[in-house]
Amino acid sequence: MKRIYAICSLLLSVAIIGSPLVAFAQSAVCLSYNKVSAPQFQQLASQLQTAVSQFRGDYTTYDGQLSNAIGANCKNKPQDFYTLIVEARSARTKLSDEVTVIASLMSQYRDAMVQYQNSLSGSGGVQ
């Protein structure tokens, strides 16, 4: 759970600041502006932006559910407390899945960039 919380906190701060996301979007726009055909970058940047937005909204939901569970009276209403815990766990599992998707998209973007860079260096382009 500590690992998921650390990753969620990191991704939430990245999503709020947006600098890596902006970097992804800017690199796709830059390639497009320079008339370089690289639609995979634009597609991956768009998918990443969508995934981070989804994560941001779901993290807010998870945080609210966790706060509700923490504030619940487990002694007087144990069934309500249990229901709140189950909901928070479900939300945390969803966040974990979203972190996996975001990490995969970032990895795909990096791989595409390395392939593109290698194609430039192989054709006498910029290294």
DSSP the chain: -HHHHHHHHHHHHHHHH-HHHHHHHHHHHHHHHTT---HHHHHHHHHHHHHHHHHHHHHHHHHHHHHHHHHS-TTT-HHHHHHHHHHHHHHHHHHHHHHHHHHHHHHHHHHHHHHHHHHHHHTT---
pLDDT, tens digit, for every residue of 15-72? 544 555 555 554 555 555 555 556 777 788 889 889 999 999 999 999 999 999 999 9
Q: Is residue 98 situated within a structural domain?
A: yes
46: in domain: yes
- pTM for the full predicted model: 0.67
Domain-embedded: residue 99 = yes
Q: Domain count of the chain?
A: 1
